[in-house]
Structure 1
Amino acid sequence: MSHSSAPLRRGTVIAVAAGTLLTPVAAEPVRAASSPVPAGLSAGSSPAAPQVRAMTPQVARRLDAAVQRVMHEAQVPGVTVGIWTPGQPSYVRSFGVADRSTGRTMAPDLYMRIGSETKTFTVTALLQLVDQGKAHLDDPIGRYVDGVPNGDEITLRQLAGMRSGLFNYSADPGFFKALTSDPQRSFTPRQLLAYSFKHPVMFRPGEKFFYSNTNLILLGLVVEKQSGRHLGDYIKQHILDPAGMKDTLFPAGNEFPAPHAQGYTEQTANGTQADATDWNPSWGWAAGAMISTLEDLHTWAPTVATGRFPDGKRMVGAATQQQRLVTPPTGSIAGAGYGLGIFHVQGWIGHNGSLPGYESLTIHLPSTRTTLVALLNTDTDYRGQEPSTVLGEAITRIISPQHVYDLPVSPTG
């Protein structure tokens, strides 16, 4: 599963966070079969499964030590972590610095770029249109967007589930050169697709899993065409506002509300570290451009996992949500499954995100209604893994030892 909404060198993964789930930016679910996650349960759990560990002062101290250890080993400048379980004290802590140049400390209220977690919003918008009969998951993408290779065969379902066979535009060398030579430039969706479509289709639609940001650009165009709204406007009106997520936005350019953390990356033309805070995320668009905060992602984790807004109203129809949570194994990634813009890893449902300078992880454990959110201001890998994955594993080994978020290192995809 990638780790970011649209990592440059790896493309978008399926990890649990910003644009990421694994190889691009989103983590993949760990389902071993293509069956939906039962309400209130997670893979391998039962009604009698042990609860997560109580958030005692001792457990909180263990978490403090684990987070700081990962930060030291992976050289992460700053981290914010939130853990919430009904009936238990919450754990909300920030560590390190938000700005290396000034020493300004990390804080829970900072805005952060969330990369591939954007995919969960784009696919939610699509599913709402499906509920309205304005689109159908088994429609071919060619019905909505012209010029797509295999467009008469690739379905919207296969795009949302990362099984289209289309090349990941953010892995194209020409794209990487264009972005890193001018990080402030703005890309249009059609320009992004052009980087993908010059490559041969990699496999027949539905044949296997391959995390590709290209899929989400196409779905963003479908949402715009069938809703008659700009993608960001649709998401605000129909998802963010009803959820009460006032501090989450889909930027048009490189605007970034204050206060925010500076983000540090090595995804540069020469491989040296750079401050990517003001890079224009238009290159991630429907796959990875959004911005959010810890508290808003605390709201989003159970909302996207259950398909219901905080007030109990349905965000996505029950039958559609059930289809979303069918998370077939990815094949290339052991122990992970990916559904429709969402993954399942050892019981945890959600997505990760990663784009230059930032990583995020937003996951929910239905069996205990626990939510974990982690926000980092770097996307530099540690021993071949995204730092958000390393952090998520360290945290879940403490709070939910039977449900460890242990995405393995996976090949680019």
Structure 2
Amino acid sequence: MHKRLPHPSRRQLLRQGAALAGALALAPASRLARAETAADPAAKLLPALDALMARSVPADGPGLAVLVARGATVLARRARGMASIELGVPLTPEHVQRIGSVTKQYAAAALLQLVEQGRARLDDPLAKFLPAYPNGAAITLAQLLNHTSGVKSYTGIPGYMHGPVRRDLGTAELIAEFSALPADFAPGTGWAYNNSGYVLVGAVIEALTQQPWHAQVATMLQPLGLERTLYEDPLRVIPGLATGYGERRAAEGGGPRRAGLVSMTQPHAAGALLSTVDELWQWNLALHGGRVLRPETYARMTTPEGAAQKDGYGFGLRRETLYGQPALLHGGGIHGFKSVLIWLPGPALTVAVLHNADGPAVHVGRLGAEIAGLALAAA
């Protein structure tokens, strides 16, 4: 089982999606022949996408929700599998699912809005907001956002994700779990994907606003009309929330099982949000369309700098190349769920994939890249 918020898909994995020349061969030849007579890209895409999803997940197991759009036009909105195996409820694109580390770009944007308001600067030291944090005077907000702070990631502590993660913790209590650990490197001298850094991003938001980090995210999303992208409060009734699953080991007979328990106080600003494929698409349009941040702030968010350049990481987003196209993307994984959100600026292409299982059977990063290839081929 996937017991931690994982590193997003590596560059080489995303670049290794299916070759464009063979992409549409995933669909039966007869269906392809009919689709290729249609004028619109959606008619070309759908048979291949349906076939790919059928190959990826069984109809009676944990499911996949997929949305592909070009700008404001949806090319495909599809789901396969079950939202609740126990209740026999099929998954739909409208179901709400955990998005794991895709949360990071929302937290980053929320902090960047506060920077735009003059309440903080990216070169401010962490100590300005959390005076007691060790070596906080040497760590900047920008280094938290692009994983160059050197802070130890608490999700990598041996055994941590197998038990302690079930406890409800306040922000200060969660920070205490990792603040005394030795740094991986001096701030700014290296890069390492780091969930602790985004807990600290959330803590800075809280210090600035005197409210939970996710309340500031909700404030950011409210004018965008994104009401189903929200923090998973365990006491809140959330309509359409899908059940998350794991995978039983072969020695146990295989097949799905209920996901392990996790208190959502612990993923914090590193991974505690929920969303739908439609709202991920709308977020892409808003963020990359200039409705969230000023142009200069957006440029800083999406441009890797310093030690983060080698890994192509900006602030909550990674720069990649897919099929020769520049791409901005992030993947996520958390107990019971996996996700990927891709944006190709050239064709204004969004690919959003949500999977309500956390085992290794479905690699959503590769799947999202392959779907992007299908969409580009269809166009």
Which TM-score applies when normalising by structure 1? 0.76
The count of corresponding residues between Structure 1 and Structure 2 is 348
Q: How far apart, CA to CA, are the structure 1 residues paired with 2:307 and 2:245?
A: 30
- Look up the match of 1:339: 314
Q: Which amino acid letter does the alignment assign opposite residue 8 of structure 2?
A: I
- More helix by percentage: 2
- Change over 3 Å in CA distance of 1:13–1:54 after alignment to 2: farther
- Look up the match of 2:277: 294
Unaligned runs of 5+ in 2: 16-38
2:47 pairs with 1:61: yes
Q: How far apart, CA to CA, are the structure 2 residues paired with 1:193 and 1:140?
A: 17
- Look up the match of 2:298: 321
Q: How far apart, CA to CA, are the structure 2 residues paired with 1:29 and 1:138?
A: 32
Deviation at 1:111, TM superposition (A): 0.9
Q: Which amino acid letter does the alignment assign opposite residue 163 of structure 1?
A: T
- Change over 3 Å in CA distance of 1:29–1:147 after alignment to 2: farther
Secondary structure class of the residue paired with 1:198: coil
1:120–1:304 contact (8 Å) kept in structure 2:
no
Q: How far apart, CA to CA, are the structure 1 residues paired with 2:218 and 2:336?
A: 24
Q: How far apart, CA to CA, are the structure 2 residues paired with 1:254 and 1:353?
A: 24
1:254–1:278 contact (8 Å) kept in structure 2:
no
2:332 pairs with 1:353: yes
Deviation at 1:400, TM superposition (A): 2.8
**Can you list the C-alpha shifts for 1:23-72, whole angstroms capped at 9, x where unaligned?**
9xxx9999xxxxxxxxxxxxxxxxxxxxxx95242321111111222225
Unaligned runs of 5+ in 1: 1-6, 16-21, 31-52, 310-314, 403-413
**Can you list the C-alpha shifts for 1:120-177, whole angstroms capped at 9, x where unaligned?**
1111111011111111101111111133332111110010001111111111135224
- Look up the match of 1:91: 76
Q: How far apart, CA to CA, are the structure 1 residues paired with 2:247 and 2:91?
A: 20
- Look up the match of 1:392: 368
Q: How far apart, CA to CA, are the structure 1 residues paired with 2:306 and 2:40?
A: 31
1:97–1:104 contact (8 Å) kept in structure 2:
yes
Deviation at 1:267, TM superposition (A): 10
1:80–1:374 contact (8 Å) kept in structure 2:
yes
Secondary structure class of the residue paired with 1:283: coil
- Look up the match of 1:196: 178
1:70 to 41, 56, 70: 56
- Look up the match of 2:110: 125
- Change over 3 Å in CA distance of 1:329–1:142 after alignment to 2: closer
- Look up the match of 2:135: 150
2:312–2:319 contact (8 Å) kept in structure 1:
yes
2:93 pairs with 1:108: yes
1:380 to 334, 359, 365: 359
- Change over 3 Å in CA distance of 1:127–1:331 after alignment to 2: closer
**Can you list the C-alpha shifts for 1:319-377, whole angstroms capped at 9, x where unaligned?**
111111112598898xx511011112212213222101011112211111111111100
Q: Quick one: percent identity of the two aligned structures? A: 27
Deviation at 1:195, TM superposition (A): 2.5
**What is the correspondence of 1:256-271 to structure 2 with a 5 Å cutoff?**
257-265=238-246
- Change over 3 Å in CA distance of 1:195–1:90 after alignment to 2: same
Deviation at 1:305, TM superposition (A): 2.7
Q: How far apart, CA to CA, are the structure 1 residues paired with 2:115 and 2:74?
A: 39
Q: Which amino acid letter does the alignment assign opposite residue 13 of structure 1?
A: H
Q: Which amino acid letter does the alignment assign opposite residue 374 of structure 1?
A: V
1:117–1:352 contact (8 Å) kept in structure 2:
yes
Q: How far apart, CA to CA, are the structure 1 residues paired with 2:261 and 2:199?
A: 22
2:14–2:369 contact (8 Å) kept in structure 1:
no
Deviation at 1:187, TM superposition (A): 1.9
- Change over 3 Å in CA distance of 1:202–1:102 after alignment to 2: same
Deviation at 1:89, TM superposition (A): 5.5
Q: Which amino acid letter does the alignment assign opposite residue 284 of structure 2?
A: A
Secondary structure class of the residue paired with 2:152: coil
Deviation at 1:82, TM superposition (A): 0.5
RMSD, aligned α-carbons: 3.3
**Can you list the C-alpha shifts for 1:224-258, whole angstroms capped at 9, x where unaligned?**
11123222222112x11011101121234464512
Deviation at 1:118, TM superposition (A): 1.4
Structure of greater Rg = 2
Q: Which amino acid letter does the alignment assign opposite residue 58 of structure 1?
A: K
2:266 to 261, 264, 283: 283
2:125 pairs with 1:140: yes
**What is the correspondence of 1:7-46 to structure 2 with a 5 Å cutoff?**
8-9=3-4, 11-15=5-9
- Look up the match of 1:216: 198
- Change over 3 Å in CA distance of 1:114–1:227 after alignment to 2: same
Greater RCO, CA 8 A, separation 6+: 1
Q: How far apart, CA to CA, are the structure 2 residues paired with 1:323 and 1:113?
A: 27
Q: How far apart, CA to CA, are the structure 1 residues paired with 2:40 and 2:7?
A: 32
